[in-house]
Amino acid sequence: MIQEASSFLHNASPSLLVRYIALCDIGAKMMLYKVILIGYTPKRGVKVAYYSIELCAGAGGQALGLEKAGFKHIELLEIDNNACNTLRFNRPDWKVVEGDIRNYSPKPAVELDLLAGGVPCPPFSVAGKKLGADDERDLFPEALRLVSELKPKAVMLENVRGLLDSIFDEYRTKIIQTLERLGYSADWRLLNASDYGVSQLRPRVVFIALRKEIAPYFFWPNPFEKNPPTVGELLYDLMKKKDWKGAAWWKKTACDIAPTIVGGSKKHGGPDLGPTRARKAWASLGVDGKGIANDSPEKDFEGMPRLTVEMVARIQGFPSDWVFTGSKTNKYRQIGNAFPPPVAQAAGIQIKKAFDMYSAFVEHKISERKFA
């Protein structure tokens, strides 16, 4: 059954797939939904563009991933001036709104398909005090307010792993209950960036909610079959840019993926790779984590090299042509706090496929009524 479905995934329209599924029994239907939603890229019979609004957009990691997944951004909201400048520099056509989410109430001219963002993580971070709802930086209530106002088809929010700690069980439950009252089905999932091509141990909590009629067509993205490159493989060309004699040795030493890149905050954290434990992990890869270098190692450099902003951005999954503006500290902070674009892309693709399949289902039902 699965092989039969896969053989026409790239040629069949969504409406044809829905008619095919309608002929199957319950067990076969569920198998086919999974096969189709994981491996299916529709070619016709679906909405041309899906529109999104990005909250707390930062330097654009999630926005870039969702763009690659096929979403068009109506607006991107960000409070940090440096991050806004980065967004404007890289995508002059994006409408970047610089301001506080507490004062934000957009009125899009088109139907909003996706409300996405990465609300501040310090309230739930292991490095913070874990105050959750008692932290003034907790902006989940504002995100929920915007869901109620904008009524998007889907919501996607990301945060740190600490949000899944038992201390926040009641908090997560309240969020889900609120969204259910608004007509959504919601779920949390811990996604590891290394499962989606990112050379970094970066677990992030991703929260996705879809309107209840669309939710049955959504499946979480499967991890990639191939492991991401090691830090040495990923950064070798940058490390040898100035003909560093030790580049080949370093490549062999940096034989694993990177630990989690820590961005810090305006109050704490500078251009280094994290606290003592993180620096020890970097040292095992042959990297000096006490600071960020201005450029690649010189030809006769000796010792452990430091990473450059460009190298950190590559580890985070940003494309090489994505430019960060501001001072070195500001650039590093933007990168370190970003959601890796490939992870956002993987999740965004699944949301878009759910939209496509639901649209095809509605189309099929309308056709049935016409010819009944």
Residues marked as catalytic: 121
Secondary structure element (H or E) that encloses residue 13, with its range: none
Asked if residue 225 lies in contact with residue 203, where contact means CB atoms within 8 angstroms, the answer is: no
Alpha helices in 192-336 (DSSP H): 231-239, 247-253, 276-283, 309-315, 328-336
Residue 30 token pair: 């569920």
Q: How far apart, in Å, are the Cα atoms of 352 and each of 38, 214, 304?
A: 11, 11, 44
* Torsion sign (Cα): 302, 305, 311, 316: positive
Alpha helices in the chain (DSSP H): 2-7, 14-22, 26-39, 61-69, 81-90, 140-150, 169-181, 231-239, 247-253, 276-283, 309-315, 328-336, 341-371
Residue 264 token pair: 């810090």
> Which of 249, 313, 304 is CA-nearest to residue 282?
304
Asked if residue 322 lies in contact with residue 313, where contact means CB atoms within 8 angstroms, the answer is: yes
Q: How far apart, in Å, are the Cα atoms of 263 and each of 63, 119, 152, 243, 274?
A: 18, 15, 30, 30, 8
185: exposed, middle or buried (Cβ count in 10 Å: 0-12, 13-18, 19+): middle
Asked if residue 188 lies in contact with residue 206, where contact means CB atoms within 8 angstroms, the answer is: yes
Tell me the DSSP string of 294-334: SSPPPTT--SPPPPBHHHHHHHTT--TT----S-HHHHHHH
> Which of 60, 77, 74 is CA-nearest to residue 114?
74
The CA-CA-CA angle for residues 321, 323, 329, to 5°, reads 140
Residue 272 token pair: 């280094």
Q: Listing from the earlier edge strand, what are the strands of the sheet with 203-211? A: 96-98, 71-78, 50-55, 114-117, 154-160, 203-211, 184-192
